[in-house]
């Protein structure tokens, strides 16, 4: 995997690039996208006009993966911040309130 982080003024572009055999990539992306689809991600249409997974093109499958990766990165950052805040609060309580 190649990752790039390009700053242009007050904006940044982050890219993750994978190069692998076509069949492996399409199988991996397709299977991961199918998992996300089955978990309720993406536009499933309406009761009158449902959208089936088999009708999704590669761009729509990649959009499912992209949204999931973005959310995962955000969740990782939030978890780190929450854990750091909890640790700091725990240390402050022990130092200020309890016998050590």
* pTM confidence score: 0.80
pLDDT at 7 > cutoff 90: yes
Q: What percent of the chain has pLDDT over 90?
A: 80
Residues 86, 94: contact at Cβ < 8 Å?
A: no
Compute the average pLDDT of residues 29-37. Answer: 97
Compute the average pLDDT of residues 38-52. Answer: 96
51-87 confidence digits (pLDDT tens): 999 999 999 999 999 999 999 999 999 999 999 999 9
Alpha-carbon separation of residue 87 from 5, 16, 75, 76, 93 (angstroms): 30, 32, 18, 16, 10
pLDDT at 100 > cutoff 70: no
């Amino acid at each position: 995997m190649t990752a790039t982080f390009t700053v242009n003024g007050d904006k940044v572009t982050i890219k993750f690039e994978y190069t692998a055999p076509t069949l492996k990539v399409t199988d991996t992306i397709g299977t991961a996208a199918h998992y996300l689809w089955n978990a309720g991600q993406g536009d499933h249409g309406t009761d009158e006009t449902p959208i089936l997974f088999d009708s999704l093109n590669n761009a729509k499958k990649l959009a499912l993966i992209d949204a999931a990766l973005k959310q995962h990165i955000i969740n990782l950052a939030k978890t780190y911040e929450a854990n750091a805040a909890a640790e700091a609060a725990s240390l402050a309580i022990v130092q200020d309130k309890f016998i050590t």
